[in-house]
Amino acid sequence: MRILQWNIQWCRGIDGKVDPERIARVARELADPDVICFQEVASNFPALAGSSGEDQGHLLAHAFPGYAAHVVSGVDVPAEGLKRRRFGNMLLSRLPVRQVFRHSLPWPAEARTPGMPRAALEAVIETPLGTVRVATTHLEYYSASARAAQVERLRELHAEASRHARVEASDEYDSGPFQPFPRPAPAIVCGDFNLPPQDAMHRRMQEPFEDGTTERLLDAWQHAHPGKPHPPTFCLHGKEHGEAPYCCDYVFVSAALAGRIASVRIDLDTQASDHQPVIVEFR
């Protein structure tokens, strides 16, 4: 199984051009992925640089025939008439998708600090590795305290799902909304975490759980390349943000899945976004 993780900056490349088809083409050429996790997917947001207000969720779904497409919008605000402006995360899978969850993440109040609502999109997917939970998210950029709260929530969600995996489901309903679906323990949590590898919250994501039974989440790059620094995934091309290149995009995997990692690579060449794609292949 191959998974591609990428913050696509509303499909805007270093050249300033917004081009969803280019994003789709690069993703296919890089990995022919089974599962794709995108962040910064915009709909009806003409105020974003280079955008004409196109529905990127629709366009990207159309660009990947044969894939199930799911979107969660952290930002969902009014536009003209009855229209909405949306900004969030997307997951596409050509493997069978079972249950899908859309999780709101904490957004603590902080005076005079820019921010936006954040969310995580989780899909339970039937894979060659077995049934796996795959989550895609995009954490707060400006506020360290908000990022910390969001990391804690991601850990809580992983622990909660792991508890579901350990208990026997009710057999009272075999149809309807009470019908039980599996919440497997194996998990992949990926996204733009807006923090460098040396940040305390990067370590926090990987800490053991107090219950002693929930599997730890491990940084796939560090597991596959022990002792080797993360390549930069942000600000590698172009100087629009005025920051030195660094890594903020990660794929975390539960401990049992870590042993199934065949390769982890970061494409350093594409300029189709201000972030670089991360590709993880499992055997």
pLDDT band at 50 (very low <50, low <70, confident <90, very high): very high
**273-283, pLDDT tens digit by residue?**
999 999 999 99
Two structure tokens written together for 248: 């903020």
Whether the pLDDT of residue 63 is over 90: the answer is yes
Whether the pLDDT of residue 242 is over 80: the answer is no
pLDDT band at 216 (very low <50, low <70, confident <90, very high): very high
Average pLDDT of the chain? 97
Whether the pLDDT of residue 53 is over 90: the answer is yes
**6-39, pLDDT tens digit by residue?**
999 999 999 999 999 999 999 999 999 999 999 9
Higher pLDDT, 181 or 248: 248
CATH for 264: 3.60.10.10
- Predicted confidence at residue 238, as pLDDT, reads 78
Whether the pLDDT of residue 240 is over 80: the answer is no
- Supply the range of the domain harboring residue 178: 2-282
- Predicted confidence at residue 182, as pLDDT, reads 87
Q: What is the rounded average pLDDT of the residues 30-59? A: 97
pLDDT band at 177 (very low <50, low <70, confident <90, very high): very high
* CA–CA separation, 10 and 45 (whole Å): 9
Q: What is the rounded average pLDDT of the residues 160-180? A: 93
**254-279, pLDDT tens digit by residue?**
999 999 999 999 999 999 999 999 99
* CA–CA separation, 181 and 170 (whole Å): 10
C-alpha Rg value of the chain to the nearest Å = 18
| Domains in the chain, number | 1
- pLDDT exceeding 70 applies to what percent of the chain? 100
- Predicted confidence at residue 239, as pLDDT, reads 72
**115-148, pLDDT tens digit by residue?**
999 999 999 999 999 999 999 999 999 999 999 9
Half-sphere exposure of 44 (CA within 13 A, CB side): 13
- Predicted confidence at residue 94, as pLDDT, reads 99
**Region of poorest pLDDT, from 137-141, 229-233, 235-239:** 235-239
Two structure tokens written together for 68: 């199930």
For residue 36, the Cα-to-chain-centroid distance in whole angstroms is: 9
Q: What is the rounded average pLDDT of the residues 147-159? A: 99
